[in-house]
Amino acid sequence: MSRFILCAVTSLLTVSSLLAAPTLQFEDQAWGRMAIASLESAPYPHPSREEGFASSGSFYPRDPHYIDSSVAFLVPAGYEARDEVDLIVHFHGHQSRITETIPQMRLGEQLEASGVNAIIFVPQGPLNASDSRFGKIDEPGGFAALIEESLECLHHSGVTRSEMPGRIVIMGHSGGFYPLGQVIANGDLADHIVELWIWDAAYAQLEDFADFATRPDTHVRSIFTGHLSEENVDLATLLWQRGVPVTLTHDTLVTDEQLTEDRVVLMHTDLSHMQVMTHLEQWARTSTLPQRP
């Protein structure tokens, strides 16, 4: 009888686990399909912004700026489910809403054009606020929890055949620099995060970025406009001091060969702050992420 009860409890726990994962409702796009779901592990709500946040003379109350728990999933056309799930995780900048950021930056179009067999996750951070903090993601274990719940959702929804993470790229635009540094500093999924892409975002966390680049088999790419030239030179100096080779160039001169073979590439650009992510297709295509069949 006790064995029967144990089996029954185990079955109930299994069913409960399955029910806990939201079924993703995908909408077809020209480049593939996209779903947005509310996740427990999303950056917000979080106690750090329970009373809202004041910045540069503006005040952002908890509602609506810190209550959106949305995470977007971008699956390119032709995606092939494999034993592990390769990912790109994007942290947006200030004054952003992911439903606007995704089409503005053409994330889906560039992902599909790159040919990589990866899925992009875009968690909603501060909603339309000038704030770089990403709540739960900034804490130890927060990024790992987001990846775990997200992979559970994808598997439960039939998109993947595994909940096992493969190669992970983390990237951030502008104010998205802070969660990038925190994920590295906290060591979440350090064995899986293989590339760091900095989109005009090297405002701070330079020591964390340099620490990441000193790990074997990692890659760092940073594109910067004039206002962040000094910070990127500082980053290059930190890396040279640690014996890490750095390629310092201009985005109009960088080659696919350099992006493929050089572990650290820092590139100045004449593009605007909001245009730098037009290089996403190239960066993904020349990354260590696997290609679709």
CATH number of the domain within which 69 lies: 3.40.50.1820
- pLDDT-derived band of residue 7, with 50, 70 and 90 as boundaries? very low
DSSP 178: H
Residue 291 lies in a domain: no
Question: What pLDDT is recorded for position 20?
Answer: 64
| Mean pLDDT to the nearest integer, 7-11 | 36
Nearest CA-CA partner of 271 in 105, 126, 102: 105
* Residue 98 contacts residue 72 (beta carbons within 8 Å): yes
Residue 48 lies in a domain: yes
* β strands within 150-275, DSSP E: 165-173, 193-199, 219-224, 247-250, 264-268
Residue 4 lies in a domain: no
Residue 114 lies in a domain: yes
Residue 102 lies in a domain: yes
Question: What pLDDT is recorded for position 15?
Answer: 40
- pLDDT-derived band of residue 56, with 50, 70 and 90 as boundaries? confident
* Gap between the Cα atoms of 112 and 102, Å rounded: 13
Chain segment 199-258, per-residue pLDDT in tens: 999 999 999 999 999 999 999 999 999 999 999 999 999 999 999 999 999 999 999 999
Question: What pLDDT is recorded for position 10?
Answer: 36
Residue 1 lies in a domain: no
* Residue 120 contacts residue 83 (beta carbons within 8 Å): no
Domain count, the chain: 1
Host domain of residue 71: 23-285
Instruction: Give the predicted TM-score (pTM) of the model.
Output: 0.92
| Mean pLDDT to the nearest integer, 176-183 | 98
- pLDDT above 70 covers a percentage of the chain that reads 93
Residue 220 lies in a domain: yes
Q: For all residues of the chain together, what is the average pLDDT?
A: 94
Residue 65 lies in a domain: yes
pLDDT exceeds cutoff 90 at 21: no
